[in-house]
Amino acid sequence: MSSTDIGTFHSVARTPYASSAEAEPPVTSNPADGPAWSNVKAPDARSQQSSTVTVTNGRRALKVFLSNPNALFGTSFLVFVIVIALLAPVLYPDDPLSMVGRPFLWPGQDSAFPLGTDSLGRDVLSGILHGSRISLFVGLTATALGLTFGVLVGSLAGYFGGWVDDVLVRLIEIFQTLPSFVLLVVLVAIAQPSATTVTLAIAVISWPTVARLTRAEFRAIREKDFVMAARSLGYGHARIIFREILPNALPPIIVTSSVMVATAILMESALSFMGLGDPNVVSWGSMIGTGRELVRTAWYLTALPGLAIVFTVLALNLIGDGLNDALNPRFSQDR
């Protein structure tokens, strides 16, 4: 066999393998198998997707809340109360406790006093407007303090567990075993009655509820995959608590906060009704307490501030129901 024939034979023998290699289609990933894994850290890989999901959930919650007529009514009335509280010093710059007219003027009897005057000649409308400032101040401030301390205690107990959980739970139980309103009256009676004292006392008796709720949420979330991933990456406890777990535990806490504001307003009104409020300021509860002896002859003195309390508390409860419908995943998926 000549050298030419040998070269031809080798070229023919290699041809099928070369052609089959050239004809073989490139390997492509099947979309059904899912996206290819990118070699990046887990939280970084989830950051863009998490932000998108958060924005989507926020828009959906806002849409559900705005489609609830009861929540809209509650929000509108609460905004109205906030506006009149801010404008009270402008509309009635004088002291609401000063005597400015003839006593026992009924509503509509004198245009200068649209809602009448009380037994000392004080303007009822001025008292209601200035009283809204005290009610909102006590309600919002006491709720903020109670939420801060309750979330801190509940997050530590739910995240760490063990002896930390045992100690903090015993502390919560000590406060919950005492009657709330009785403890509130004792705290205010021991200290000098003032708006600051009442606010701090209400915060002291309101934080255990938030602490228990936060603890339950943290215990349910702390074993999730994204928390385990954050731990495996060496993130500190503070970052895991406040940046990983707490944002996912906020919805029920936000709903509870609206109810806490309403409860704080009711407690402040009850203390003022009993004469344990700040004597230097006017509040809705103190107006009811002043007019309770004149219910038969001048019922409007208790009815008007009572209606202010009823509608404000009702508005806060309607807002709480709307937030629950908007932030509760089960209710949101039904829609």
Question: Is pLDDT larger for residue 231 or for residue 79?
Answer: 79
Question: Is pLDDT larger for residue 22 or for residue 75?
Answer: 75
What the block records as the tokens of 248 is: 């996912």
Q: Residue 50: which pLDDT band, with cuts at 50, 70 and 90?
A: very low
User: How many C-beta atoms surround the C-beta of residue 284 within 10 A?
Assistant: 26
205 with 183: CB under 8 angstroms? Answer: yes
What is residue 292's predicted lDDT score, i.e. its pLDDT? 87
Query: Per-residue pLDDT tens for 149-195?
Result: 999 999 999 999 899 999 999 999 999 898 899 999 999 988 888 89
Q: What is the mean pLDDT of residues 15-23?
A: 41
What is residue 329's predicted lDDT score, i.e. its pLDDT? 59
Backbone angles phi, psi at 117, to 5 degrees: -130, 165
DSSP 102: -
Question: Is pLDDT larger for residue 202 or for residue 112?
Answer: 202
What is residue 66's predicted lDDT score, i.e. its pLDDT? 86
Residues 335 and 326: their CA atoms lie apart, in Å, by 10
Residues 295 and 15: their CA atoms lie apart, in Å, by 111
What is residue 331's predicted lDDT score, i.e. its pLDDT? 53
What is residue 158's predicted lDDT score, i.e. its pLDDT? 92
Query: Per-residue pLDDT tens for 276-322?
Result: 888 888 999 999 988 888 888 889 999 999 999 999 999 999 999 88
Q: What percent of the chain has pLDDT over 70?
A: 81
CA distances from 300 to 118, 245, 270, 287 (A): 9, 50, 18, 11
DSSP-derived 3-state class of residue 195: helix
Supply the DSSP string of 18-72, one letter for each residue. Answer: HHHHHHSPPP---GGG-PPPP-S-HHHHHHHHHHHHHHHHHHHHHHHHHT-HHHH
Q: Residue 52: which pLDDT band, with cuts at 50, 70 and 90?
A: very low
Residue-range domains of the chain with CATH: 64-86+114-334 (1.10.3720.10)
Q: What percent of the chain has pLDDT over 90?
A: 47
What is residue 25's predicted lDDT score, i.e. its pLDDT? 45
Q: What is the mean pLDDT of residues 50-72?
A: 73
List the one residue out of 171, 166, 243, 162 whose CA is nearest residue 207: 171
Bridge partners for 292 per DSSP: none
List the one residue out of 159, 156, 168, 152 whose CA is nearest residue 224: 159
Is the pLDDT reported for residue 84 higher than 80? yes
Summary mean pLDDT of the chain: 82
**Residue owning tokens 């998926």:** 333
**Residue owning tokens 């209400």:** 202
List the one residue out of 246, 271, 281, 141 whose CA is nearest residue 204: 141
CA distances from 130 to 62, 76, 123, 325 (A): 32, 19, 11, 33
Q: What is the mean pLDDT of residues 35-64?
A: 54
In terms of Cβ atoms closer than 10 Å to its own Cβ (0-12, 13-18, 19+), residue 234 is exposed
What is residue 257's predicted lDDT score, i.e. its pLDDT? 92
Residues 118 and 120: their CA atoms lie apart, in Å, by 5
Q: Worst-scoring range by mean pLDDT, 6-10, 154-158, 191-195, 212-216? A: 6-10
List of residues 6+ apart from 307 with CB closer than 8 A? none
User: How many C-beta atoms surround the C-beta of residue 231 within 10 A?
Assistant: 14
What is residue 86's predicted lDDT score, i.e. its pLDDT? 94
To 10 degrees, what angle do helices 195-221 and 124-160 make? 30
**Residue owning tokens 């066999």:** 1
Q: Residue 88: which pLDDT band, with cuts at 50, 70 and 90?
A: very high
* Residue 258 identity (one-letter amino acid): S
Is the pLDDT reported for residue 135 higher than 60? yes
Bridge partners for 110 per DSSP: 113
What is residue 4's predicted lDDT score, i.e. its pLDDT? 46
Residues 286 and 267: their CA atoms lie apart, in Å, by 12
What is residue 8's predicted lDDT score, i.e. its pLDDT? 45
Highest averaged pLDDT of the listed ranges 54-58, 67-71, 190-194: 67-71
Task: Count Cβ neighbours within 10 Å for each residue of 55-83 and write b for 16 or more, e otherwise.
Answer: eeeeeebeebbeebeebeebbebbeebee
